[in-house]
Chain A
Amino acid sequence: MSRSTRDIWWRMAWRNLWRNRRRTVLTASALSFGFVAAVLVMGFMNGMMQEMVSNGTEVVTGQIQIHAEGYRPERSIHGTMGGREGLDISALVAAAAAQEGVAGVAPRLYGGGLVSSGDETVGAVFMGVDPAREPGVSRFASVFVEGGMPGPGEVAVGAALAEKIGIAVGDEAVLVAPAADGSTGNDLFVVAGIYRMDLGGFDDSYALLELGTLQDFLAMDRTRIHEVAISVDRVRDADDVAERVAVAVAGLSPDLVTEPWSVFLGQLYFVVSLASAMNSIVAFIIFGMAVFGVANTMLLATFERRREFAVARALGTSGGALGRIVVYEGLLLGVVALAAGAVLAFLLLAHIHANPIDLSSFVGTYSFMGSAIRPLLTVEYSFQEPLVSAVALLGTGIVSALLPAWRAARLPPADVLADR
């Protein structure tokens, strides 16, 4: 087949498409609308997931964590990095901080025990933090309702815990904890701050201490920590950054395990993965509906032209060639719809991204699996979803044309021309 012959089918298809301009515009609009809807719905979904991941990881955990092998999930007090001897904490922090994409690095030590004041005593998780580094990873430092991060000999507690045992900033609290050597650590600490995270158990069962203070309290050397939490510049790069960090810190101790949030927040990752699977289903439903609508229109369009097809057949055009024209029409229809839809979708995405839709008048903030979700409808830019939608749109054009094309190809010319 020569090039000009091939072109002529395309040209005929293109001209056919615009013979009934109104119908074509309407059909293309339906497809464009489907495209915009698919891109927007996926964008919203991604925006929501992004929000969940951000909140789930920015509150306390960070997007990457380093632990000693076997520390999770039991979180034994003895499971410090580098074993009983520990390791060079500042070297570890520096090595992680030097990696591209790392925003903040915070070393942490954990213990469990009692916080007591007067006659009231409650159980709590003690978290030893570096007050200068912690704000780079978690939100603790920014949610103080009174006072601030603890210095040496001080403690900061959640608002609910403070209320339960009746302590205020400046008061003394007794802390009791089983120490690493089997003794019972007990001492008085001045309350330096009270925070309100409004999330999970942090307000009623966490107490923050300066790292060195907690190490002494738990009879541990200053080289021992349980965790390094790392925040990244872009959440979606967490896996890559985690790999770089793992390589960078590997030489400091053989027992280090570096994991991105998708591992240590497996439930959250599961939900996010589920959401992207949902995206495909949404696209399938939208374009599945479009297929039937477009097929119906094209069937009508080919039925109207059946005499013309019959003449063409009578003059020697093969059935396959006629069918091909109809398929080309479908494809061209898709291209037109895509062009219009892409422009519209881009404008809408840009607008909503800049001005998220506030739904707080309909629903309140809620927390889900340690992740506070604001009722703010926002979208995330991405290439994958629009690309999938575009392919689906063009596919819809072609699939819709298959039945009409088959009918056109099978047309009996004599019967049609004789109006039988």
Chain B
Amino acid sequence: MKKAAIPFILMAIVFAAAPVAAQTDPEILEILDDVDRMWQGESSAGSMRMEIDTEHWSRSLEMQIWSLGTDYSLIRVESPAREAGTATLKVDNEVWNYLPRADRTIKIPPSMMLGSWMGSHVTNDDLVKESRLIDDYDIVISYEGDRDGEAVWEFTMTPRPEAPVIWGRIEQRIRKRDRMPLWAHYYDEDGTLARTMTFSDIRAMGGRTVPTRMVIEPADGEERTVITYIELDFDVGLEEEFFSLRNLRARQ
């Protein structure tokens, strides 16, 4: 089976699969490492739709996306027209936004990293934290077996002492047969479920199998953000130089 490359935003949020974690079971590392290898060093390009429902408004954005590994990504809004050109560049742990109306690029200050990204239920922090997740959490297999007729693993991630993280615990379910993520549950420091992420519509896109739909729901209230991939291509030959502030501003 051709292993799937998980597009940047899913990688960013779900997989903490940098393959070095001293205190985590080697078997888990092997699984994560395997997942890791699916996308390590790979580039992708495509487009996605982000639908956001809140108590006060609903909106739908279409965006173009480019990524290289987990460290580099660039997202540019295509529609609605009022916001077209608005773009986000992520390099390592830093996030810049390009604002077409003001024609300025601003770097998101650390104090704003927990703020909403594009009005969605994804935070700026979600975009960058993947490279640190495995360093900050101890991971154990809390369940292995059948769930709903599928063989799965369930991982429980607990933050290491002193780790600068906001979650008290993260749980993930991964389907064994293709190592696809099914969901992730985020708990706050009191152990209360704070938000869930659900992955579905796992199918071939750009020649690989990927979860093409992701739903992010805060535990309280009726709000949700749904991200759907419209088109994805892999190994598109992007270099690090592509992810520059100049390209952040450029309309393509």
Interface residues of A (CB under 8 A from B): 78, 114, 116, 119, 121-123, 174-176, 178, 180-184, 186-188
Contact = CB atoms under 8 A, between A and B. Distances in A.
Interface in B97-122: 97, 99-104, 106-109, 111-112, 116, 118-119
B147 interface: no
A182 B112 contact: no
B119 A182 contact: yes
Interface string B81-109: 01100100000000001011111101111
B59 interface: yes
B2 interface: no
B107 A178 contact: no
A79 to B, nearest CB: 10
Contacts of A178: 116, 119
A326 B101 CA distance: 90
A85 to B, nearest CB: 13
B101 A186 contact: yes
A114 B106 CA distance: 9
Given A182-B57, A183-B59, A119 B107 contact: yes
A123 B119 contact: no
A187 B82 CA distance: 13
List the 8 shortest-distance A-B pairs measured between CB atoms, nearest first: A186-B99, A116-B106, A182-B119, A182-B57, A174-B104, A174-B102, A182-B59, A78-B56
B84 to A, nearest CB: 11
Given A182-B54, A187-B101, A176 B82 contact: no
13 contacts: A78-B56, A114-B106, A123-B109, A174-B99, A174-B104, A176-B102, A176-B106, A180-B57, A182-B56, A182-B59, A184-B119, A186-B99, A187-B102
Interface string B58-88: 1100000000000000000000001100100
Contacts of B55: 78
Given A182-B52, A183-B82, A188-B102, A121 B108 contact: yes
B94 to A, nearest CB: 12
Interface string B28-72: 000000000000000000000000101111110000000000000
Most B C-beta atoms less than 10 A away, residue of A119, A121, A178: A121
Contact of B57 (A175, A181, A188): A181
A178 to B, nearest CB: 6
Contacts of A123: 109, 111-112
A176 B99 contact: yes
A24 B116 CA distance: 78
B125 to A, nearest CB: 14
Contact of B109 (A78, A114, A175, A183): A114
Given A119-B107, A174-B104, 8 more contacts: A78-B56, A114-B112, A116-B106, A121-B108, A123-B109, A175-B102, A182-B58, A186-B102
A79 B108 CA distance: 26
Contacts of A174: 99, 102, 104, 106
Contacts of B118: 184
Nearest to A217: B101
Contacts of A114: 106, 108-109, 112
A119 B108 CA distance: 10
A121 B107 contact: yes
Contact of A183 (B58, B103, B119): B119
Interface in B148-195: none
